[in-house]
Amino acid sequence: MPDQATADPAAAPENTGPENTAPENTAPENPAPGNSAPGFAAPDFADQEIAAVEIVGVRTVDLAPEPAWPGADAADLAGLVTELIGDQAGAWDLDGHIPREIVRELGRAGVLCAQAPAAHGGLGLSNVDAGELTAHVGALCSSTRSLMTSQGMAAWTVERFGDDAQRAEYLGRLTAGETAGVAFSEPGAGSDLSGMATRIETEGDSVVVTGQKVWVTGAAYADLLVVFGRVGEGAGAVLVPTDAPGVTVTRVPDPLGCRAAGHADVLLDGVRLPADHVLAGAGLPLEWLVTSALTYGRLSVAWGCVGILRGCLAETTRHARTRQQFGRPLADHQLVARHLAELHVAERAATALCAEAARGRDAGGPEHVSAAVTAKHFAAGAAVRGAASAVQVLASAGARDGHPVARAHRDAKLMEIIEGSTEIGQLLLADHALAVWS
């Protein structure tokens, strides 16, 4: 049997309360990486239960499950989201923009960072409730879900690594309608974030930020960016207003998917800010900071993939019931029915993995770190395969830009790249399997 009792150093940054973010309180004996690759040793998820990948006892009930909203807040928010997004996601995708007033309204309603604590104006949703809300948004519009993931990651980073004053200031702003993106990636630092070169340097009462970030989701809408960079021998995160002198935000032209998510490259040309814009956790190892933010992001993306699968199920089942070929509905052709069955199983299995990771995160145990990698890895692959199946079932009816399954097909592919690519996820999970089972 695997040793389930071994401590999980990768989870340490997640398990240390915000009040314990000083380096001396949080330094692990074996600091573990985030976006692991050459340059970062893979994290040791020794305490993770590998049973998370065994989908045991999931009943298959119907082909269009209604989410069971455990909390009234989440159900209300889901209704608001449905109303605000309506049937506009396809048009936003083609246009490459979500109307700013919609983004603001979602922000003010608390949808974009629904887990932010009530003490700072947030809704304080549990991971489970926030996850179902994320899936709901993901089923309607992956671009909007992308903004949720980014804003949630930004809020979590402030909550996790900020001090009391920073939490009050920035969480207050993010729950009042301002929007934020999170900037790790650079031209020379993708999977291997140890190549990060952005510098965050204190000069008297100021801090100067110099570097180049790429593909920052939501940056085109953002009031604030949480920018990760080098602080002395360690790393840190700094809150950079997008209108600060020296900040240039340039949209990524024509992204493959999530086209309205406002991806942008960001040039930081000696951006001078008050020193209190640097989050208090500065100086920690880079891998600690990014692991913490990425764990949030991975679970959020995984729920977004559940949403993609649900959207595809809705489209394919409706089409397969109504479209007739060879004298009967497509659903009566067994090879078409197989697509529906596989989609259904994918959605149920991805939901089960996400729920397990969310429950683990709510419980605060170390297992949620690897559970989030597992959920994201499975859900992203399932969304890619599921969306391809959906296009196959719709065939010519879905084979045009603007159709929900065509959009799902493009959006899903990106889920295999972000928050740690499929290959990086595999490296992390293989390492975890070795630690637990060998």
Ligand X SMILES: Cc1cc2nc3c(=O)[nH]c(=O)nc-3n(C[C@H](O)[C@H](O)[C@H](O)COP(=O)(O)OP(=O)(O)OC[C@H]3O[C@@H](n4cnc5c(N)ncnc54)[C@H](O)[C@@H]3O)c2cc1C
Q: Which residues bind ligand X (CB under 6 A)?
A: 37-38, 150, 181-185, 190-191, 215-217, 255, 258, 263, 414, 417-418, 421, 423-424, 427
Alpha carbon distance 403, 400 (integer Å): 6
- Give me the least distance between CB of 66 and ligand X, in Å please: 29
**CA max distance for the chain:** 79
Alpha carbon of residue 311 to chain centroid: 18
Residue with the CB atom nearest ligand X in the bound state:
190
Nearer to ligand X, 385 or 413 (CB): 413
Query: 3-class DSSP state for residue 229?
Result: strand
Nearer to ligand X, 263 or 409 (CB): 263
Nearer to ligand X, 69 or 184 (CB): 184
Alpha carbon of residue 127 to chain centroid: 12
- Give me the least distance between CB of 53 and ligand X, in Å please: 20
Pairing of strands 206-216, 264-274: antiparallel
- Give me the least distance between CB of 153 and ligand X, in Å please: 8
Nearer to ligand X, 210 or 421 (CB): 421
Nearer to ligand X, 215 or 378 (CB): 215
- Give me the least distance between CB of 259 and ligand X, in Å please: 10
Alpha carbon distance 152, 135 (integer Å): 14
Structure tokens at 393: 């079932």
DSSP state of 120: G
Nearest to 112 by CA among 243, 252, 222, 215: 222
- Give me the least distance between CB of 188 and ligand X, in Å please: 9
Going from the C-alpha of 226 to that of each of 70, 82, 180, 229, 266, the distances in angstroms are 31, 29, 7, 10, 12
Alpha carbon of residue 134 to chain centroid: 9
Three-state SS string over 269-336 comes to EEEEEEHHHECCCCCECHHHHHHHHHHHHHHHHHHHHHHHHHHHHHHHHHHHHHCEECCEEHHHCHHH
Nearer to ligand X, 191 or 370 (CB): 191
Nearer to ligand X, 182 or 354 (CB): 182
Query: 3-class DSSP state for residue 405?
Result: helix
- Give me the least distance between CB of 213 and ligand X, in Å please: 6
For residues 120-151, one letter each, b for 16 or more C-beta atoms within 10 angstroms of the residue's C-beta and e for the rest, the string is bbbbbbbbbbbbbbbbbbbbbbbbbbbbbbbb
- Give me the least distance between CB of 102 and ligand X, in Å please: 20
- Give me the least distance between CB of 434 and ligand X, in Å please: 16
Nearer to ligand X, 38 or 327 (CB): 38
